Structures are given as structure tokens and as C-alpha cells.
Copies of this chain bind each other. A is one copy, B any other.
Amino acid sequence: MHLQIFATGGTLDKVYHDALSDYRIGDPVAPGILEEGRVDFRYDVESLLKKDSLELTDDDRALIRARVAACPHRHIVITHGTDTMTETAAALAGIADRIIVLTGAMQPARFRNSDAAFNLGLAVGAAQSLPAGIYIAMSGRIFEAGSVRKNRAAGRFETLADDRHPETP
């Protein structure tokens, strides 16, 4: 496997700037997490955008789509802000022969108790295991694009049918 990671910003990559008394999107944290994860596959991380996902425009999504479509690698993880992750997933519809997994974080990766490392692991595990398609890896779950929404108040991703605890064994 050669994994292509496209970083677009979001909470995952947020850093704190004392001089601004504010948070900004920093450089992608994915390389550091993969190093900590002691991964043994080849990968590239490319920073496409450094934005809160609420600020992403149609042009930004067109850029992401173009870069994914042009990517020579089959396994693609996109790190992304959580608020409009499902919109970007929708904008990728129709790209064939790729396993595309979007993930992000509810707490900046630089926090001690962030969900970032777990989520990136989740995405990498899914990217290796699923058939071609577009997926969202959040809240410990793998969703097919189009079947999922962010429940902002509850701080989680859930299926549109709200069938989040099906009684499978």
C-alpha cells in the first residue's frame, strides 16, 4: 500500500498562537501521528488547504476533487474539519477505483486527550480493508458517504437514519 494523505485543515491541525490569543490552522499533524504510529508503509502527506471546514468554498472543494481524481494512488485519506466533512465527501461522488476515507478530530491533535491519533488510525485501517468508495471515519465508526451527518450538539457523527445502535451481534 502507498497511502496518499491530503490535509485540508480543520480542528485536527489547530495550533495556539499566544501572540494572537487565538487558534490557527497549523501544518498537517498527520506525519507526526504516522511516525508515532510506527507505520511501515509508504505515504505522502500534502497540504492542500489550511481552513476551518466552515470556510471551505466551492472552489476549495473543486480543488480537492481535482487532486483526488488525479492521484495515482488507490488509498487516499483526507484530513478535514468536521463541520462540512460530509459536503466534501458528497463533492467527491463519482470518482472511481479509489478508497477514499475522510477523517478529522473534535479536539486538536496537539491536545493530550485528542481523538486525532485514534481517528487517523481508524481511517488507515478502513482504507486498507474496504472496497473502492467514499467513506467517513469518525466517532469510531466507518460510514459510507451520503449516509451520515454530524450531530453538532451531541459532538458525534451518526447515520442519517439515526440508526446508530443497530442490534447486530
Contacts and interface: CB of A to CB of B under 8 A. Distances in A.
A49 to B, nearest CB: 16
Interface of A: 1-2, 11, 14, 16, 18-19, 21-23, 33-34, 36-42, 52, 54, 72-74, 82-83, 106-108, 110-115, 117-130, 137, 139-142, 152-153, 155-158, 164-166, 168-169
B125 A40 contact: no
A108 to B, nearest CB: 6
Contacts of A126: 125-126, 128-129
Contact of A115 (B23, B38, B83, B152): B38
A93 B147 CA distance: 35
B169 A38 contact: no
A125 to B, nearest CB: 3
Given A11-B18, A38-B155, A118-B37, A141 B128 contact: yes
Contact of A40 (B23, B130, B139): B139
Nearest to A53: B21
A11 B111 CA distance: 13
Contact of A169 (B2, B14, B19, B118): B2
Nearest to A83: B21
B124 A54 contact: no
Contact of A54 (B21, B23, B72): B21
A52 B120 CA distance: 27
17 contacts: A11-B16, A16-B107, A18-B106, A23-B23, A37-B122, A37-B140, A38-B156, A40-B156, A41-B164, A111-B111, A120-B121, A121-B122, A121-B140, A122-B125, A125-B125, A128-B141, A129-B142
